Amino acid sequence: MRHKQAKYKDHFPVLNIQEFSKDNADESVLFHELHGERAIEEPHKHDFFIAVLFGQGSGTHTIDFVEYPIGRWQLHLVFPGQVHQWRMEKETIACQLMIENRSFEALMPDLRFPAIFYQQHPVMELKEDMYKMILYEFLCVQKELKESVIFPDLIRARCGVCGLLISRIAEKRFKEAVNYNTHPILTRFVNLIDKHYKEEHAVAFYANEINISPNYLNMVCQKQLNVAASSLVQSRLVLEAKRLLKASRMTVKEIVFDLGFYDHASFSKFFKSHTGMTPSAFKELK
């Protein structure tokens, strides 16, 4: 029997979309131009979705502790709950859409693939024609937001077109995207992981929820993604552990119980086997 999880307050620095609105209005979609040098010094997360379209630029954008170089014709995606920071150099020209979480949930079907896929591929290199197509939709959203009478349905439709264009890029560029999309078991599995990974670490739980055997679930993952089913669960746990260790005020002991481990020793062994360092050492990394 699994122990009951203790409940701890989330101490992440969390920014909501209203903090980026000029008049602090309750807006569900925002557009901003990002020109020149700027930096986010401290890692934080948002409770909304961000899509940043770079026309040109240099610098770095760190998303969930992976550093990506900023360059020409790129699209960067940051999902609610992801930890990020960036440093943009003076030649940077970009624009961003911010979409609050409820509106983003309605947009998810247009993205077509599970969120976990995009979180694993947050930066997309674009060809010039696709860059211009997405830029056009971004600028149409900007224009609608400036109208004296705003039509929310029209803005949502434009955002939906952006979502479909993003999914087209994913389908063309990443073989795994096709696998996620064409295999309903994988889609169900990754969605269940995102919902239950803190309480349920065993593949048997997820197989039971999908009404298949653990062996069959593992076979599907091996065939379609070339990884064991347990690796997907463990990867999600490691990612959340990193987020909590680096971007929260929770103690290691609190994190141990928040992530469903029985004791510090088992968590430390798990974390070190995946990262090569202890949780305490990772927390102290600058």
* pLDDT, tens digit, 9 for 90 and up, residues 13-30: 778 887 787 664 557 899
pLDDT at 245: 87
How much of the chain, in percent, has pLDDT values that exceed 90? 55
- Per-residue pLDDT tens digits for 41-66: 888 888 899 999 999 999 999 998 89
Average pLDDT, the chain: 87
Confidence band, pLDDT 50/70/90 cuts, at residue 115: confident
- Domains contained in the chain, CATH given: 14-174 (2.60.120.280), 183-284 (1.10.10.60)
Q: Tell me what pLDDT residue 210 has.
A: 97
Record the pTM.
Answer: 0.74
**What per-residue string of b and e applies to 247-277 under the rule 16 or more CB within 10 Å gives b?**
bbebebebbbbbbbbeeeeebbebbeeeeee
Q: Return the higher-pLDDT residue of 2 and 126.
A: 126
So what's the pLDDT on residue 26? Answer: 53
Give the separation between CA 185 and CA 168, rounded to whole angstroms: 21
